[in-house]
Amino acid sequence: MKIFLAGASGAIGSEIVSQLVARGHEVVGTTRSADKTARLRALGAEPVIVDALDRRSVVDAVARAEPEVVVHQLTALSGPMDLRSAKQMLAATNRLRVDGTDNLVAAARAAGARRFVAQSNSLWMERAGGPIVDENSRLEPRPPADAEQTVAALRHLERVVTGISWADGIVLRYGSFYGPGTGVSAASDAVTSAQIRQRKFPIVGKGTGVWSLVHIADAASATVAAIERGKPGIYHVADAEPALVSDWLPHLARALGAKPPRRVPAWLAGLVGGKAAVDMMLRARGISSEKIRRDLGWAPRFPSWRMGFTDGMR
């Protein structure tokens, strides 16, 4: 198939390009930076520089590509991150999930695409019911004030994409990424790995939040499955072992050769990192990815983060 991939130069975008090209697909991949076009060519994609917030340029780029499938992997989450830059990156990502989504959907419709696949995430599933939720669960309706815009942007993306009537609209709620290119890998000097090594990524309170994780290559293979044979709706994408923060974070520290993470009380973490960070550490829900395994035959290379932290971090 011919596929238009928005966000092709990011961590998961690059993996998706590689896997699609290996399977014989033709990929047109976007980037915001001319410096990244050579890498996209090396991966086998036709690069195009596009500002996803400029609707005319998006519509023109998609029209020239004439894709059967449009894939939305746009975020602004990259590079060194402190509290200030994290807020800026989240705000920019929120715009991409709202205005960028609207622009890509309009462009896909005008170009006659028959499938639209978009990135969401699972960290803000509703804080209700059991610790593990499936695709019937909704996003948290009452998030902390400092997460309201983020959750609203995710809700907008999911509503628009699953509401598509002229093509197959598919949303992928990914678990938290790790592995090469994500900032969480054995060879990474990126902020997340550095924070863990420097014991600046603590367990908050008792670490009772349940997170689902997924190796970046497995997230990409699930995306390829959705591109090739997905049905309209939502799929959860994660390994088979949702885990308490108090379980997986010490294992990750060991995999990175770091000392065990510190523990800090919730009130102190809230003062430093905000209520949203505390909520994710204490109240997050894990996800079941049984649907995509059953319906699309997806099988991750790393079925557990335990194996992935040991063998998949390089």
**Which two tokens mark 209?**
């939040």
The predicted pLDDT at position 77 comes to 74
The predicted pLDDT at position 79 comes to 54
Cβ-Cβ contacts under 8 Å for 80 (sequence gap 6 or more): 190, 191
Q: For 277-285, what is the mean pLDDT?
A: 96
pLDDT of 231 strictly over 90: yes
The predicted pLDDT at position 83 comes to 53
pLDDT of 238 strictly over 90: yes
The predicted pLDDT at position 187 comes to 67
The predicted pLDDT at position 85 comes to 61
Burial 147-163 (b: 16+ CB within 10 A, else e): bebbbebbbbbbebbee
Per-residue pLDDT reduced to its tens digit, 150-205: 999 999 999 999 999 999 999 999 999 999 888 887 766 677 888 899 999 999 99
Q: Is the pTM of this model over 0.85?
A: yes
Asked if 119 and 174 count as a contact pair (C-beta separation under 8 A), the reply is yes
Helices 266-273 and 275-283 sit at what angle, rounded to 10 degrees?
Answer: 140
Of the pLDDT bands very low, low, confident and very high (cuts 50, 70, 90), residue 89 is confident
Count of CB atoms situated within 10 Å of the CB of 96: 24
pLDDT of 35 strictly over 80: yes
**Which two tokens mark 108?**
């896909």
pLDDT of 78 strictly over 90: no
